[in-house]
Amino acid sequence: MSVPAPDGARTGRGRRRAAGLGGALLALSLSLAGCSSDGGSGNGNGAGARGSAAGATPSSGRAPTVAPDAYRRALGSALRPLNNALRAVDGAQEGRALDAALDAAGTRAEVAANALDTTRTPDDATARNGQLAGALRVLGRDLKGARGGGGRCATSPRVELSTAQGPRSVREAGRALTALGYDATLRLPRTEQAQYRRLANGTFLRDGSRGGLGRLTINNGTSTDAVVTLTRGGRTAFSVYVRKDAHTTIRSVNSGTYTVYFTTGEDWNGKKSSFTRGCRFEKFDDEADFRTVRVAGGTQYTVLTFTLNKVLGGNATTSEVPPGEFPS
């Protein structure tokens, strides 16, 4: 005779079966979750991990770097026209030809700087590329500013460039890029060192006929050499060189009224009859009047002294003269 199982026993077996079913459902749920791609909370992480393992490349958030060879080509394209223009400067004769070449090269330097500003660079060249672009702009201004203009008191453009900042900055920036493997060599134009040409104190640059008794002493207490020129009737009577902190005396000055001009500066250029640096052109407002008269017992004649620097008690005033009006 069978005895029904106690309720508790039946309940226990039912719980074990339920537990087993629950385990099966849980396992099924996990299996389905592993195959799910619905992006739900928890499930999406599992799918994402397997997707990454399959070969997807995560983004770094940065644009791909420029290939060095591509930058080298862009750099060469930007600098090549400038190099050609600089060669033209190097070979030009001083004067109009050199001024035109300097102006053209200055424009090319500015164009090259603009091109480099928009050129994509490898990471290791970015800073030096910007440095070169800035240096090229300075070079462009220096090249255009070095133009001689052909007038008096004009320093040679090659002397101007020898002390300019642009060529030095370009050379430094170019070397830095070249050291990184990006050839930025530029053929900068040749320069010349400043000259200090002088004449001996008392040297006559021009000397007309002198047969009078007048005497003129010139004191130059300025910090630069000077050339003093006396004209009469629009013509140059004589012109004499007086070094700084020196004086000279011209004898046998003919009677007459003279206008006294003087120019001061450094580096006397005989071809242009002018100093090339720091020059000024002036004249005395009062004319020099030389007279020779016979008097009882002899002859009286004029003795004058002109001082180019300001002195205490001096009574002579001066005015500036346009360079083109200064007598040669």
pLDDT higher than threshold 60 for residue 54: no
- pLDDT score at 278: 87
Mean pLDDT of the chain: 83
The answer, yes or no, to whether residue 305 has pLDDT greater than 80, is yes
In angstroms, the CA 80 to CA 75 distance is: 8
Strands (E), the chain: 204-207, 214-220, 225-232, 235-242, 246-253, 256-269, 274-284, 288-290, 292-295, 298-301, 303-307, 318-320
Res 253 pLDDT > 50: yes
Task: Write out pLDDT tens, residues 86-104.
Answer: 999 999 998 889 999 999 9
140 in Cβ contact with 156 (< 8 Å): no
**pLDDT (average), residues 225-254:** 96
CA–CA distance, 311 with 308 (Å, rounded to integer): 9
Quick one: pLDDT at residue 324? 85
Query: In this prediction, what percent of the chain has a pLDDT beyond 70?
Result: 79
Whether 60 shows a pLDDT value over 50: the answer reads: no
Which pLDDT does position 5 carry in this prediction? Answer: 46
Give pTM, 2 decimals.
Answer: 0.64
